[in-house]
Structure formats: structure tokens, C-alpha cells
Structure 1
């Protein structure tokens, strides 16, 4: 049976070899399990059919044996009744059934063997799928960790490839420019304050007449002293 070889190949398939070839193990294991579930459905259907054939062959063989026993019993009864010809007819039928039994026995043996192989195949495939489903979570967790680490590696490589010297130089220039802007603003504020002080001083002179009057009085006193 071709299906036997096909499913033996399925059972002997090495999942690790398939995963080694896969670009994405997570997707590959999902696909592999889907394929195995599909194959299990086919194995189950084929196993049921082969087991049904084995049961039918077994029944056919049992019925043949029953008929042979019946012909033997009839032959004995015929002889006891003194009907030799009838006994001969029953024995001839027994011989014919015996020949058919040989074929039925071979069929029963073959179908029973095939049914046993298919049942073993079905049970192993079911067990393998259950085991792989249990391992699937672990595989996916490992893949997720690998992808996360890869992202970190890519980021580190990207940062490592940046020209930080140029970046620092640019920040130095901006810092110098900012300091110059602050110095200029402070200088303008100082100039504004100086202008305000000068204006106030000039304004105060208009009201500061006491100083000029004292000088004039001192000058008049000096003239009188000198007789001028």
C-alpha cells in the first residue's frame, strides 16, 4: 500500500532538519504542525478503512470455517443415514470451501497486519503532534527572545556607526553661539542702564543751582579782600 510508505516517511521526518532550513522557525513550526494535523486526518481515515477491511476479512474467514464444519457434520449424518452420495456431495463442498479458506486466510492475515501498522502509525503521529504542541510554546518563546536580541544588536550597530565626534562638535558650536547671544544681550542691558543714568544726571543739573551760587559768593568775597 502506497499510503503506508507515505506515512512512514511522515513519521520519520526530522523536524529539526526542517527548522534548520526555515528562515522563520516560528512560522515553520506552525506550518509543520498544520501539515501533520492534515496528515493525521488522512491517516485516521485510512486506518479506519483498513481496520474495517480486516474485520470483514476476519468475518469472511469465520463464516467459511463455519460452513466447512457444517459440511463435515452433514457428511457424517448422510453416511449414518446410509446416503453415501449425499455424503460425497457434502465432502466435495467442504473441499471447495477449504480451498477458498486459504485465500481468505491470506487476506485476513494481510489486512490484519496492515491494520496493525496503520494503528501504530496513527497512535505515534497523534503522540508526536501532542509532544510538538507542547514544545511549540517553548520554540516560540525562544524565537521571540532571539528577535528581541537581534533588535538590540541592530540598534547597537546603528548607534556604533554614528559619527559622535561630528555631533559633539556641532553641539560645541551651538553652545558657543548661545553664550555669545547671552553676552550680547547682557552688554545691551548694561548700555541701556548707562544711558538712563546719564539722562538722570543731566536732568538733576537743572535743579542743582546751589553749587553755582556758592561759587559766585566766594568769588565776590575774594574780590573785596583784594580791594577790587
Structure 2
């Protein structure tokens, strides 16, 4: 059927050509899947109609076969009546001929319908097979579409990030950060230098205070006064004499 000729339309050259022209592949794939869903609906309806026609034709065939058998039995029955004298032989023969004629007519119709039944059943099987193929491909392509959408999102996000990174220093951002970094390092070095100067000053101050607080001379004076009061001669003076 014509609807199945479009089964692989998504993969046709015009789709690839459109993608090459930077058209949106997601939208085009969605459009292709919508058309295939319509095809699937039409194919399912067509299969149901052919299947129903095959069933009706098969029923008609069975009816013709039964009618053929019935008229064959009627021909025999009418001749049996003529044999028993219930019906005139000439009239019975005419009726038997009519019954046999109808038997052949229904038999021929049954044979013709039988051929139609075979053809319809074959068509319905082929349509069912094609419909199942289309349904299977639809499921596969829908999964691929979901994957494609996810890849497009990731690709766009990556492109945006890379673009931002590529354009990061266009407004001097990196240079500004470098200047700020250098300034902070200078401030840290200056602060460290002030700290070292302050520690040096405190060390000198402490040393000076230590010298000023040295009271060893005062202690010697106090000791000499005690000695003089007690009348102890200063060895230092004696040695001098």
C-alpha cells in the first residue's frame, strides 16, 4: 500500500539536506514522527477493514457452499419423489435440473469467494506485518528523538559556556582580576613589613628598658653603706693602699 512507501521517510535525503542547511533537526524529526503516527493510524484502520472484509467473504463462501449442498440434496430428493410416484417424472426432472443448476451456480460462487478469501487473508497478514514494523520503528525513533533532544540541550549549554569562556577577557575581566591579585599581594607584603618593623622596635625598646632597669650599682652603694656603718673595711680600698 502507498502509506508504507513512506515508512523510512525520516532517513531520506531531503531530511539530511535540511539538517545540513542548519534547520532544526528536532523539529523536523518531530514532524516526521507526527506523519508516521498518522500513517500508523491509517494502516491500522486499513488492516481492520481488510480483515473484516476477509471474514465477511469467508462467511459468504461458507453460505454458498452450504447452498450448493442443499440444492444437490433437493435434486436427489425430487427424483426420489418421482421414483415413488409422488411427483410426475417429467416435472421432477425439470425441478431437478433447476436444483442442479443452482447447485453449480453456488458452487462456482463458493470457489470464487474462496480465492478472494485467500487473497484477502494474505493482504491482511502483509498489512499486519507492515503495521508491526512501522510500530516498532516508531518506538525506536521516538527513543532516538528523546536522546536527540537531550543531546541538543547539552550541546547548547556547552556551547554557551564555551562562548562565555572564549569571550571572558573581552571586557578586561581577567586583567582586572590580575591587577586586584597584585594589589592584594602588595598589601599583604606591606602589612608583613610593618609587622616586622613593629617587632624590631619592640625588641630594641625591651633591650633599652632592660639596661635602664639594671640596679647593680645601687646595690653596691647600699652594701658599702652597711659596711661603713659596721666598721668593716672595704677590701677594695685596702687593696688600693
Superposition deviation, residue 27 in structure 1:
6.5
Superposition deviation, residue 187 in structure 1:
0.6
Task: Tell me if the contact between 1:64 and 1:97 (Cα under 8 Å) persists in the aligned partners.
Answer: yes
Further displaced range: 14-23 or 191-200: 14-23
Query: d(CA) in 2 for partners of 1:185 and 1:53?
Result: 104
**Equivalent of residue 61 in structure 1, options 68, 71, 86:** 68
Query: d(CA) in 1 for partners of 2:122 and 2:128?
Result: 10
Superposition deviation, residue 124 in structure 1:
1.3
Superposition deviation, residue 93 in structure 1:
1.3
- Tell me the equivalent position of 1:71: 78
- Specify whether residues 106 and 32 from structure 1 end up closer, same or farther in structure 2 by C-alpha distance, changes over 3 A only: same
Paired residues in the alignment total 198
Q: List per-residue Cα deviations over 1:71-112 (Å, max 9, x = no partner).
A: 34555x36xx7x9x7101211212332453465345434432
1:212-223 to 2 correspondences below 5 Å = none
2:7 equivalent to 1:15 = yes
Q: Higher relative CO (CA 8 A, sep ≥ 6), structure 1 or 2? A: 1
- Tell me the equivalent position of 1:49: 56
1:71-110 to 2 correspondences below 5 Å = 71-72=78-79, 74-75=81-82, 77=83, 86-101=88-103, 103-105=105-107, 107-110=109-112
1:162-201 to 2 correspondences below 5 Å = 162=164, 164-167=166-169, 169-201=172-204
Query: d(CA) in 2 for partners of 1:159 and 1:18?
Result: 32
- Tell me the equivalent position of 2:113: 111
Q: List per-residue Cα deviations over 1:19-57 (Å, max 9, x = no partner).
A: 769733566656655654555444434322321121111
Task: Tell me if the contact between 2:61 and 2:113 (Cα under 8 Å) persists in the aligned partners.
Answer: yes
Question: What's the TM-score once normalised by structure 1's chain length?
Answer: 0.62
- Specify whether residues 90 and 101 from structure 1 end up closer, same or farther in structure 2 by C-alpha distance, changes over 3 A only: same
Q: List per-residue Cα deviations over 1:118-168 (Å, max 9, x = no partner).
A: 211122123334444565665456556655654565456445644624347
Q: Which structure 2 segments of 5+ residues have no match?
A: 16-27, 214-241
Query: d(CA) in 1 for partners of 2:77 and 2:2?
Result: 47
